[in-house]
Structure 1
Amino acid sequence: MSAPLGNQFWKARSSHGRDPIFATPDALWGACGEYFEWVDANPLFEARPFAYQGEVKVEQIERMRAMTISGLCIFLGIGRATWDGFGERDGYSEVTARAEAVIRTQKFEAAAADLLNPTIVARELGLADKAEVTGKAGAPLTSAVDELSKNDIARRVAFLLAQGLNSAAQ
């Protein structure tokens, strides 16, 4: 059964839409701090075998857990789009920038100390050693084949085939 025409039941609502998850930037920063503490308090574990006097034991070794934006979003119970939306709001943008800086710094420093895999962290942080190689006077690289005529290429292929036949005959 549908509502009668001209109804105004919507005016009876106490609020419109759901309440914001983090009503203030301070509430968001507090929740981010809880995530940072949770990461420190909940390391990952690696099973590593040890041998001593012929007896092999498997021990659990604590490994550092890397902070991530996606891990933060899961902890906060929000989606990545919601996190990005906070970054566009006044007051919240400083909080999101600060949280992202904390996460980036934690990963970078841990990778530099070899506590996290440096290759994976460098890839995620967009760090790379890049060298651009160019041809003469900054022109694009070309291969020697690009500069040969079809006739020259055919002559060189015939020469190589003849060499192959001569070596096979011997």
Structure 2
Amino acid sequence: MAARDGGKKEVKAVVKKATKKPTANGRNVKGQFAPGNDLWTARSSAGPKPKFATADDLWAACCEYFSWMSDRPLIEVKPFAYEGKITMADLPHMRAMTLASLCVFLDVDYSTWDAWRSSRPDLSEVITRVERIIFAQKFEGAAAGLLNSNIISRELGLADKKDIAGVLTIERVDVNFVGDDGGEA
């Protein structure tokens, strides 16, 4: 009986140790995300949805979001091999700020954020500033190679688009065409 209990303790210790170590997809064996990949757990306040009575209240909450995003990079767990030994390393990646994640953080719907732009002139200066900060963060991150430039340029509306409609015309050529004189043309 004692051997059985000792075996259970060893198994528990191994399972406990294994649940802490992240796998290649950034989750541990329990399926939990690695630290830093938990935006949905953050809120600017506890309790009911926050109400921003003043522009200063909204700005403070947005600054809290900016800090949260910069303090918690996305973590990629990547294997490296050196001298035949494989080791796992945590590689931090810049987290792109978005209006969608800001709204999740603030616990407001995007339609509410959008409505504030026109219905709350007291907040319009902060809304404009926040949107410019998010744009600049994504643009600069993509320009520096820290974010995927193709994805960011499309999201920011900066994709290089060329309209080629009407430029190319193809005429059908019949190789068996018979001319007016009855012979081949």
Q: TM-score, normalised on structure 2?
A: 0.64
Give the CA deviation at 1:47: 1.2
Give the CA deviation at 1:141: 3.2
Higher helix share: 1
- Whole-angstrom distance in 2 between the partners of 1:23 and 1:67: 24
Give the CA deviation at 1:19: 9.4
Equivalent residues in 2 for 1:130-149 (5 A)? 130-133=161-164, 140-141=166-167, 143-145=169-171
- Whole-angstrom distance in 2 between the partners of 1:80 and 1:58: 38
Q: What is the aligned partner in structure 2 of residue 121 from structure 1?
A: 152
Q: What is the aligned partner in structure 1 of residue 140 from structure 2?
A: 109
What percentage of residue pairs aligned between the two structures are identical?
Answer: 47
Query: Structure 2, unaligned stretches of length 5 or more?
Result: 1-47, 178-185
Query: SS at 1:49's partner residue?
Result: strand
User: Runs in 1 of length 4+ with deviation above 4 angstroms?
Assistant: none
Give the CA deviation at 1:20: 7.1
1:51 aligns with 2:81: yes
Q: 1:42 aligns with which of 55, 60, 72?
A: 72
Query: Structure 1, unaligned stretches of length 5 or more?
Result: 1-17, 135-139, 160-170
Superposed CA RMSD: 2.1
Give the CA deviation at 1:49: 1.1
Q: TM-score, normalised on structure 1?
A: 0.69
Q: What is the aligned partner in structure 2 of residue 168 from structure 1?
A: none
Q: What is the aligned partner in structure 2 of residue 65 from structure 1?
A: 95
- Whole-angstrom distance in 1 between the partners of 2:168 and 2:108: 50
Give the CA deviation at 1:101: 0.3
